[in-house]
Amino acid sequence: MPQYDFDLFVIGGGSGGVRAARMAAQRGARVALAECAELGGTCVNVGCIPKKLYSYAAGYAESFAEAPGYGWTLPEAPRFDWQRLKAQRAQEIRRLNGVYQGLLDGAGVRLIPSWAELVDGHTVQVDGQRHTAQHILVATGGMPFVPEVGGREHGVVSDAMFDLPEFPRRLVVVGGGYIACEFASIFRGLGAEVTLLQRKAHVLDTFDEDVRHFLAQEMGKTGIDLRLNVQVEMLRRTGEGVLVTLSRGQQLAADTVLFATGRRPNTAGMGLEAAGVALDEGGAIVVDDQYRSSVPSVLAVGDVSTRLPLTPVALAEAMVVVDRLFAQGRRRMDYEYVPTAVFTHPNVGTCGYTEAAARARFGKVRIFCSEFKTLRHTLSGRSERTFMKLVVDVKTDRVVGLHMVGAEAGEIVQGFAVAMRAGATKADFDGTIGIHPTSAEEFVTMREPMPG
C-alpha cells in the first residue's frame, strides 16, 4: 500500500498547475488537481489569451484606417460590435477550458473542482475531505491589487474588462505597467477615449528608459491621454458615470475606471501559514532554487511564488519541478534572458538587460539604436515609428540587451532571444544576413554605436 493517496497534489489549475499535473501523470505519478474556477487560470480566462484576442480586434481599426493609402475604398465606415466580440471571445475561452480538461483527463489526473486548503505538509482538505500526498504543489497564481483609494469600489480590475456590459466610451486607466498600457492601447484601438494615469514620471518601470519614452510618445500619437506624475485621490459615482478626482485637484469623467495597479499572489485562506509555509512581505510563497517552500514537501511555481510573473515562466518552472520529482532532475531554469512583450499598439519586445542594468552589471557597454518609419507606413498614412536598441557588453562583445517598440515586436524578439541565450555577440549579429525588406533586419544592420 502506498503511504499517501497521491504522489502529487496540485492546488490551482492555471498554466503552471495544469502543466505540472499533466507532466507528472504522464510520468506515471498518481496526481490530483484542485481548481475551484474554470481551468486555465488567469492566462486563459482573464489574461494573455483574451487580451491578445482583443488586441487583434483593436488592430483591425488600424488596418481600416490604413487601407485607403493602399488603394482601398471601404464601402461604409466600419462599425465595431462589442457584444459580438465578447461572445466570440467567450466561445473560444470555453473551447480552451475544454482543451485543458481534456489534457488532464487524458493524462489520468483526478480533477477536484473545489477550493483546497493545506492541513500540513502532506495533507490537503477539499470539501471537508482530506487527501494525502507525497508532494503538494501550490500554483494558485495571483490577482489584481487595488490601492486604498476612496470610492475604489466604483472602479474595476482587469478581470472585469473582458466582459463589461457596455463598451466604455470614456475609459480611465490607473497604473502604468503591462496591464495598464495594454488595456489603454486596446480600448483606444476599439474606439474609446482613454486617459492613463501613472504616479511615476514614466510607464513600464522595469523597461529600458529609451523604450519607455518611445512607447509613451507612440501611445500619445494614437490619442491616449497619458498623464504622468499623477495620483488618483477619489472616485465618485454620478448620474453620468464615475468622477475621478486627481491629486492636483483636477477631475475626469469616465464610464469605466480600470485599476491596473499591480497584482498580488493568491495565498490567502489556504492554510499556508498555519501549515508552516513562509510567505514574503508581499504574500508570495518563498521558494528555494528547487521551488520548495519552507515546508520542503510543499512546492510553489508561477505567480504565487517570488519569481517572474509570466505564463511561460510558470510553465518552465512546472517542468523543472516535475523533472526533479519524477524524472532525472536535470532540467534547470534560467531567469537571465527571459524575453517578454507588452501588447500595446505598437508592441514592446525585450530580452536581457536594460542599458542601465547592463552598465551596473557589466561596466562598459556599447549602445546601438535605430528609429525609423517602417515601409508599411510610407503609404498607410500613419505616423507610427519603430525603435530598436542593442546593448553590447564591451568586454565580451555579447549582446546582453535587445529592445524594440514596433509592430510584431513580440514575434521578432522571440527569435532573437534564442541567439541571446546562446551567447550571440555583436559580431554574430553583424555577420547575419538580413531579410529584406523587414523591420527585424535592422537588428543585424546597426553599425554605428551611440556616442559616449
Positions touching ligand NDP (CB under 6 A) are 147, 174-180, 182, 198-200, 205, 260-263, 309-310, 340-343
The residue annotated as part of the active site, out of 202, 213, 403, 436, is: 436
What angle separates helix 178-189 from helix 48-66, to the nearest 10 degrees?
A: 40
Smallest gap from Cβ 207 to ligand NDP, in A, equals: 10
Closer to ligand NDP by Cβ: residue 413 or 440 = 413
Smallest gap from Cβ 317 to ligand NDP, in A, equals: 14
Q: Which residues, in sequence order, are CB contacts of 354 under 8 Å at separation 6+?
A: 206, 207, 208, 209, 211, 391, 401, 403
Determine the Cα–Cα distance for residues 158 and 195; give it in Å rounded to an integer: 16
Closer to ligand NDP by Cβ: residue 68 or 147 = 147
Closer to ligand NDP by Cβ: residue 17 or 142 = 142
* Separation of CA 374 from chain center: 26
Among the residues of 250-375, which ranges form H helices?
311-326, 355-362
Q: Which residues, in sequence order, are CB contacts of 432 under 8 Å at separation 6+?
A: 444
Smallest gap from Cβ 342 to ligand NDP, in A, equals: 5
Of the candidates 323, 264, 313, the residue with the CA atom closest to the CA atom of residue 290:
323
Catalytic residue check, 436: yes
What is the bridge-based pairing of β-strands 263-265 and 156-157? unpaired
Determine the Cα–Cα distance for residues 35 and 230; give it in Å rounded to an integer: 39
Smallest gap from Cβ 432 to ligand NDP, in A, equals: 26
Closer to ligand NDP by Cβ: residue 286 or 308 = 308
Residue with cell 527571459: 338
Q: Which residue is nearest to ligand NDP (CB)?
A: 177
Of the candidates 298, 304, 261, the residue with the CA atom closest to the CA atom of residue 282:
304
Closer to ligand NDP by Cβ: residue 29 or 93 = 93
Smallest gap from Cβ 82 to ligand NDP, in A, equals: 21
Residue 363: left if φ>0, alpha if ψ -120 to 50, beta else—which one?
left
Closer to ligand NDP by Cβ: residue 196 or 358 = 196
359-369 burial by CB neighbour count: b if 16+ within 10 A, else e?
eeebeebbbbb
Among the residues of 115-196, which ranges form H helices?
158-161, 178-189
Instruction: Report the amino acid identity of residue 86.
Output: K
Closer to ligand NDP by Cβ: residue 19 or 398 = 19
Determine the Cα–Cα distance for residues 185 and 427; give it in Å rounded to an integer: 36
Residue with cell 542601465: 356
Smallest gap from Cβ 232 to ligand NDP, in A, equals: 7
242, burial (CB in 10 Å: exposed 0-12, middle 13-18, buried 19+): buried
Of the candidates 362, 366, 371, 352, the residue with the CA atom closest to the CA atom of residue 421:
352
Smallest gap from Cβ 251 to ligand NDP, in A, equals: 17
Residue with cell 532571444: 417
Instruction: Report, as residue numbers or ranges, the catalytic residues.
Output: 436
